[in-house]
């Protein structure tokens, strides 16, 4: 038990960053767990507990700041649930090397978005039928991504709300955290039924992530966003490179063997 206490500060740091950028703490937790040799399914399922805990804390704080679009968040959140069920089942059979490559691509996409988010057009748009149809499909896909990788799905929802719907980033990130309540909870339930998570490890991550989520929501009003963009982007890119490198070396070892 004592040798797993490091998961609390990991969840704490991931909770702060996840809350501030609206992507969920899993974008930090999963690469770190994978780095320390956690199997993909265990890393993803444990991470969802941190994502859920972070979403609870962030939603509580953001609701007091009145920055959440509840009607939209509820609709998109419920639409993620079928995808999370599929994602949990898919994760049972994925090879570690494939998981690392796919997650590395998700991380690179996340870093690009985070770095460019200030330049994204946030002019108010009319949410027409085409956008809503796309939002339904995107929500289903985000559910799969959320449960498969253990990251919550914010990488889909924040750009969708900002680019597709013209929502200001200061409302999109909080609304994304509200959506992650549904995506992460449904993923947790299915992963638990399948016997994937280690509940002690997940609990440590959740404790740290909850406290980090409270702090991150408050800091989001004060910290210089450009500094945060650069910091998180660098961390994510380093993690992606490490995942790509590990996957390549593992495949070369298998070929050589």
Domain that holds residue 56: 2-256
| Number of domains composing the chain | 1
Contact 147, 86 (CB under 8 A): yes
Q: Is the pLDDT of residue 164 over 80?
A: no
Rounded percentage of the chain residues whose pLDDT exceeds 70 = 84
Cα distances (Å, whole numbers) of residue 162 to 70, 178, 216:
16, 15, 20
Average pLDDT over residues 120-128: 53
Q: Is the pLDDT of residue 107 over 80?
A: no
Q: Which residue has the higher pLDDT, 26 or 23?
A: 26
pLDDT digits (tens, 9 = 90+) for 47-58: 999 999 988 988
Q: What is the 3-state secondary structure (H, E, C) of the chain?
A: CHHHCCHHHHHHHHHHHHHHHCCCCHHHHHHHHHHCCCCHHHHHHHHHHHHHHHHHHHHHHHHHCCCCCHHHHHHHHHHHHHHHHHHHHHHCCCCHHHHHHHHHHHHHHHHHHHHHHHHCCCCCCCCCHHHHHHHHHHHHHHHHHHHHHCCCCHHHHHHHHHHHCCCCHHHHHHHHHHHHHHHHHHHHHHHHHCCCCCHHHHHHHHHHHHHHHHHHHHHCCCCCHHHHHHHHHHHHHHHHHHHHHHHHHHHHHHHHC
Q: Out of 37-46, 66-75, 174-183, 227-236, which region has the weakest mean confidence (pLDDT)?
A: 227-236
Tell me how far apart the alpha carbons of residues 190 and 161 are, in angstroms, rounded to a whole number. Answer: 27
- Residue 132 banded pLDDT, cuts 50, 70, 90: confident
Rg of the Cα atoms in the chain: 17
**What pLDDT sits at residue 8?**
95
Phi, psi angle pair for 38, to nearest 5°: -70, 135
pTM recorded for the entire structure: 0.81
Contact 2, 8 (CB under 8 A): no
Tell me how far apart the alpha carbons of residues 45 and 95 are, in angstroms, rounded to a whole number. Answer: 15
Contact 4, 204 (CB under 8 A): yes
pLDDT digits (tens, 9 = 90+) for 234-249: 767 777 787 777 777 7
Q: Is the pLDDT of residue 17 over 60?
A: yes
Contact 195, 91 (CB under 8 A): no
Q: Which two tokens stand for residue 165?
A: 């719907």
């Amino acid at each position: 038990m004592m040798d797993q206490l490091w998961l609390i500060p990991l969840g704490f740091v991931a909770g702060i960053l996840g809350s501030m950028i609206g992507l969920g703490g899993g974008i930090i937790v999963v690469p770190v767990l994978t780095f320390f040799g956690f199997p993909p399914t265990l890393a993803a399922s444990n991470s969802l507990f941190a994502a859920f805990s972070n979403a609870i804390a962030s939603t509580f704080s953001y609701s007091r700041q009145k920055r959440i679009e509840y009607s939209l968040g509820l609709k998109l959140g419920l639409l993620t649930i079928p995808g999370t069920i599929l994602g949990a089942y898919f994760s049972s059979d994925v090879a570690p090397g494939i998981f690392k490559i796919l997650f590395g691509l998700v991380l690179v996409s996340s870093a690009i978005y985070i770095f460019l988010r200030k330049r994204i057009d946030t002019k108010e748009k009319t949410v027409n039928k085409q956008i809503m149809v796309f939002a339904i499909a995107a929500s289903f896909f985000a559910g799969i991504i959320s449960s498969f990788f253990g990251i919550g799905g914010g990488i889909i929802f924040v750009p969708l709300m900002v680019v597709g719907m013209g929502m200001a980033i200061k409302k999109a990130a909080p609304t994304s955290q509200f959506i992650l309540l549904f995506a992460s909870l449904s993923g947790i339930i299915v992963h638990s039924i399948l016997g994937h998570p280690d509940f002690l490890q997940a609990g440590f991550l959740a404790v740290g992530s909850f406290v980090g989520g409270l702090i991150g929501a408050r800091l989001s009003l004060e910290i210089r966003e450009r500094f945060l963009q650069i910091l998180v982007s660098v961390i994510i890119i380093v993690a992606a490179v490490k995942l790509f490198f590990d996957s390549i070396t593992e495949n070369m070892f298998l070929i050589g063997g």
